[in-house]
């Protein structure tokens, strides 16, 4: 019997295969691989989840009306300038389905968030990857790579996995060079962790630019990664188009209720974010004191450009029960967890005795 015919693009994609669970010899595990919040949901969020659970025999609100109103009130943007989706990954897929097709080009810096190439390929568009320069977006090179086929550009600010940022002046100059018919997606998944005052709030940048949208998520600072909910803010017509690509009912009612409760508990959540940003600086300083390379990060993770030493470092951490995210030959991304988790990581890092060589100096590029 012949196999079903699959799209040729699938040959370029791989199924995610989880590795063995990471555990120390004593059975401890420290999950620092996925940039999650280390804190469980607040009581008010748990209560909202419990209440929403009682209604799961019904379909969820397909328009996320209550949540959209809550976001609108907080961000001071109109409700029809907001589209909610199944995580910001789900929203990214909606964006691509709205503008990308075979023949179109989708541009992003590389290395950046791993979903960009996957979703771009699935959309049928051609990925255009512009290498980072010193671990940061090379906006000049990106502007130069724009063609009349470029339909969408992701700017991940701060960038995952390097933690680098794009400043307001540079981003505005770049946006001025992007044709009006090309959508620019400023992915601000880590926005709440930014302390560098020169980093723009994408929401301010997009008001007079109809081709700019801002992507936000409840997965990081709001601590709801497991519920899959995020949103995009943009110009009315753009949002209307994007909403057409929404997979019906893909944002469940529990996620919607939890997101509303999380927004109403913002002060407590932002206090947790403050702890994380303080921990980020502590972890970075401690790693640097160990002689490890760690550029500044404005996100809830740090980046160690370890080059060829990366996989050894990842294995070494795993043996101590610390799960991190190594990118072979490039570097390791380590999420900032609770102080206890961070300490476990720092103890592991201190025991890493694969010293830098002349081929892999500590300043190796990302
Ligand atoms: N954008 C970036 C840059 C990310 O790093 C992530 C999560 N790792 C996301 C989006 C996706 O977040 P969500 O859980 O909302 O799909």
Out of 119, 220, 232, mutate this one to test ligand 1's pocket (max ligand atoms within 8 Å of CB): namely 220
Instruction: Parse the chain into domains and list their residue ranges.
Output: 17-40+267-350, 43-264
Of the candidate CATH numbers 3.40.50.300, 3.40.140.10, 3.40.640.10, 3.20.20.70, the domain formed by 43-264 belongs to: 3.40.640.10
Distances (CA, A) of 352 to 19, 138, 235, 292, 329: 21, 32, 49, 10, 17
Q: Which two tokens stand for residue 295?
A: 């550029």
Q: 113 CA distance to ligand 1 centroid (A)?
A: 7
The helix/strand count (H/E) of the chain reads as 12, 12
Class (C level, CATH) for 17-40+267-350: alpha beta
| Alpha-carbon gap, residue 336 to 316, rounded angstroms | 18
| Alpha-carbon gap, residue 357 to 44, rounded angstroms | 51
Would the CB of 227 count as within 6 Å of ligand 1?
no
Q: 252 CA distance to ligand 1 centroid (A)?
A: 18
Alpha helices (runs of H) in 145-235, residue ranges in sequence order: 168-177, 202-206
Give the CA radius of gyration of the chain.
Answer: 21
C-alpha atoms less than 13 angstroms from C-alpha of 80 in its C-beta half-sphere: 5
Query: Can you tell me whether residue 151 is helix, strand or coil?
Result: strand
Q: 156 CA distance to ligand 1 centroid (A)?
A: 10
Atom of ligand 1 nearest to the CA of 159: 3
Name the maximum alpha-carbon separation found in the chain.
62
Among protein residues, the one with the nearest Cα to ligand 1's atom 12 is 88
Would the CB of 156 count as within 6 Å of ligand 1?
yes
Can you give the pTM of this predicted structure?
A: 0.95
Would the CB of 109 count as within 6 Å of ligand 1?
no
Would the CB of 88 count as within 6 Å of ligand 1?
yes
Would the CB of 36 count as within 6 Å of ligand 1?
no
Would the CB of 162 count as within 6 Å of ligand 1?
no
- In tens, the pLDDT along 123-136 reads 999 999 999 999 99
| Alpha-carbon gap, residue 64 to 276, rounded angstroms | 30
> How does pLDDT run along the chain (366 residues), one tens digit per residue?
778 999 999 999 988 887 789 999 999 999 999 999 999 999 999 999 999 999 999 999 999 999 999 999 999 999 999 999 999 999 999 999 999 999 999 999 999 999 999 999 999 999 999 999 999 999 999 999 999 999 999 999 999 999 999 999 999 999 999 999 999 999 999 999 999 999 999 999 999 999 999 999 999 999 999 999 999 999 999 999 999 999 999 999 999 999 999 999 999 999 999 999 999 999 999 999 999 999 999 999 999 999 999 999 999 999 999 999 999 999 999 999 999 999 999 999 999 985 554 444 444 333
| Alpha-carbon gap, residue 293 to 280, rounded angstroms | 14
Distances (CA, A) of 210 to 172, 213, 214, 302: 14, 8, 11, 33
């Amino acid at each position: 019997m012949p196999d079903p015919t699959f799209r040729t693009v699938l040959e370029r994609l791989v199924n995610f295969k989880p590795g063995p669970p990471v555990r120390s010899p004593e059975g401890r595990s420290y999950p620092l691989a996925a940039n999650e919040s280390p804190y469980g949901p607040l009581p008010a969020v748990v209560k909202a989840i419990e209440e929403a659970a009682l209604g799961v025999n019904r379909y969820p609100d397909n328009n996320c009306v209550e949540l959209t109103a809550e976001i609108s009130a907080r961000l001071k943007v109109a409700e029809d300038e907001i589209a909610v989706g199944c995580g910001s990954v789900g929203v990214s897929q909606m964006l691509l389905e709205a503008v990308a097709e075979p023949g179109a080009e989708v541009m992003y810096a590389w290395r950046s968030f791993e979903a960009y190439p996957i979703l771009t390929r699935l959309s049928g568009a051609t990925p255009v990857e512009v290498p980072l320069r010193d671990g940061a977006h090379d906006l000049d090179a990106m502007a130069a790579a724009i063609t009349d086929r470029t339909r969408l550009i992701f700017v991940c600010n701060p960038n995952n996995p390097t933690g680098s940022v794009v400043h307001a002046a540079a981003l505005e100059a770049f946006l001025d060079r992007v044709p009006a018919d090309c959508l620019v997606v400023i992915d601000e998944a880590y926005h709440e962790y930014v302390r560098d005052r020169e980093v723009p709030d994408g929401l301010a940048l997009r008001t007079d630019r109809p081709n700019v949208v801002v992507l936000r998520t409840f997965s990081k600072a709001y601590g709801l990664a497991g519920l899959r909910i995020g949103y995009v803010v943009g110009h009315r017509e753009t949002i209307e188009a994007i909403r057409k690509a929404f997979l019906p009912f893909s944002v469940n009612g529990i996620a919607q209720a939890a997101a509303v409760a999380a927004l109403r508990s913002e002060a407590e959540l932002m206090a947790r974010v403050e702890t994380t940003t303080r921990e980020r600086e502590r972890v970075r300083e401690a790693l640097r004191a160990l002689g490890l390379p760690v550029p500044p990060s404005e996100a809830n993770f740090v980046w160690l450009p370890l080059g060829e030493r990366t996989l050894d470092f990842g294995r070494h951490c795993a043996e101590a029960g610390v799960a991190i995210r190594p990118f072979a030959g490039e570097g390791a991304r380590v999420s900032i967890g609770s102080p206890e988790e961070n300490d476990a990581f720092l103890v592991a890092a201190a025991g890493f005795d694969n010293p830098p060589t002349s081929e892999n100096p500590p300043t190796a590029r990302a």
